[in-house]
Structure 1
Amino acid sequence: MQLNSIEDPSNLLLKTLEVKHKDSLDKIDHLRREDPSIAAYKIGEELTKIFEGFERHQIPKGVFYQYVHDKFFYSEAIIRKYKEIYALVPLDFIEKAKNILLSHLYSLIKMEEEERKLFMEAILLVENADYFATESIKIKKYYRTKDISILKSLREEDKTKFDTPEKIKNYIIQNMIVPKVKADFENKRKADDNNKRGEPIQDNPLKFNLYEFEPTTEQGVVGLFCTIFHLIAKPEFKFNIFSEKMSFSRIQKIQTAFPDAVIECIRYDKKGNRTGLHNLSVEFEYKSHNYIEHGHHAARKKSCEMVICWENNWNDEKPYVYIWSIKELLEKGQIILHH
């Protein structure tokens, strides 16, 4: 639904509402840089305020969704989810469940109230389980998107196995987290045995052969990126980001502080004409999910727009930032972003 009226200066009602809701709009813009789960609740709160303002003036819902999309590139589905998180999941729970993923909140809002409370109690028990303290294991590293939805399906088959928070907690730890911990330990052992040397880099569309072996560390990804940058800083390697097309132009800086780099990009319109420049904030990771394990998703007052990694292992969980895998570039010959 395209609404030219939103950009029409003569539409005094929309302009008046924009001024009235300026505080909410500013909060949403700031919150997008905070912890995704808590931010989702607070953004939902501000979106609800704006929505109620539109309703009072009898402005159609479609105009509201288009208005928010034009401001923040949120789809209608995301807007609805954020509002439901605010309405259905207490902020106190989200703050206590420090490691919960945004995708888990999406699963919780699909449940009936009684079942949702049951799962929330179980999640808090997982957060405080002795297993993680004694083994020095970071919970978030082993949380995955489908954990809650899988448990919900299992509970529908036999509620007696999952009728208390304790039973659900035990299943999450023993059947969902412990196997991943053991697999990680085994993979680490194998990596140590191989002296952490990667596999040989195969023939690729870029005809790139300066590196003999694949990177095995974040530093290796940085070195590989810098080495191939001159090959991809070209208009033919455009990528889609923020509802625009861009291409890399030059490296502004690389640093040890978060985010790792700033890359100047050229912006293009739909006809392929240059429209300006954008300084893209980038974090390098060996594997994309390390972005969460390193706690970068919770960084405040700083932003990251893209993770550049060797391997994208984010699985089914919706990424918090755009993800670009150099391995995928060398396999397919084009920059493909995941978001």
Structure 2
Amino acid sequence: MTLERRSIGSAGLRSSLLGYGAMGLSGVYGAADDHESVSLLHQAIDLGITMFDTADAYGAGHNESLLGRAFHDRRHQVTIATKTGALRDTGLGRAEHIHAAIDESLRRLQTDHIDLYYLHRVDPTTPIEETIGAMSELVHAGKVKYLGVSEVSADTLRRAHATAPISAVQQEYSLFVRDPEEDLLPTMRELGIGLVAYSPLGRGILSGAMRNIAEVENLEDRQNRYPRFEEDAFEKNVRLVEQMSQIAHALDLTPSTLALAWVLAKGDDVVPIFGTRKIHNLQANLAATEVSLDAETIDRLDHLFPIGALHGARYNEALQKRIKR
């Protein structure tokens, strides 16, 4: 199967319309079986997905190793995006860390180059120019093809791009989280940088499958990390999704398909990456690539989910401090 491709940025990087985020295969949302995960990753390739997203922080390297196991004999079929600098400690933006981290990622991924290498979070102790300068050295060394940043302000993005060409910004973007539309997306489009939209299903709530708090897998961890799952906020978020589901059903779509189609409709420079551990969800989500929403439907969804619609902060207080620098 072949999916339509989109450009990410203006430097030549391309991806399938939807990409796959592999974080959930390393215990983030409950236990996962590695054998089943490899099978799912192979199925994703067969279904036409080319972009696969990981990070050295996911499972303390486990996630990269898993993708290395799955892709070592299929490397020509996939675009691998990984990240470094998740900031469990400060100093991860320093040049020496960047140079050490890439070699570990290459080893775990069983490859000689990374297609898209992100700075996971901006290091508050290191100038962005130093970090991006070190990352650009990896491009010159042939270890990385394209550079990206994740969770940055528009001003920081300008500084990063002035240091070395940035192809992509990875940012949470969905019906629930439309903040990038305010200043980040306009800046990206001015600079010719693409958006890789993570959590396009609102960490699963927009799928419509979570109708009450008892149905949320690994609830305590989710509540600790993501306030949208605290009981009062969750109930309000679900009520919004119920209204969205009515629109989806009138169009003979699932809520997930509608939510993903909305993100795809927000620009041909936007590539959503979703995560799932279930093959039937993988197959179902790809239906969004065949949907073309009309202007009236997009407008209805925009009004139902205005900027700031999400109840509960995106992250807990400690994690919230690490974003949008």
TM interval, short-chain normalised: under 0.3
TM-score, structure 2 as length reference: 0.24
Question: Which structure ranks higher in relative contact order (CA pairs < 8 Å, sequence separation ≥ 6)?
Answer: 2
Q: Which has the higher helix share?
A: 1
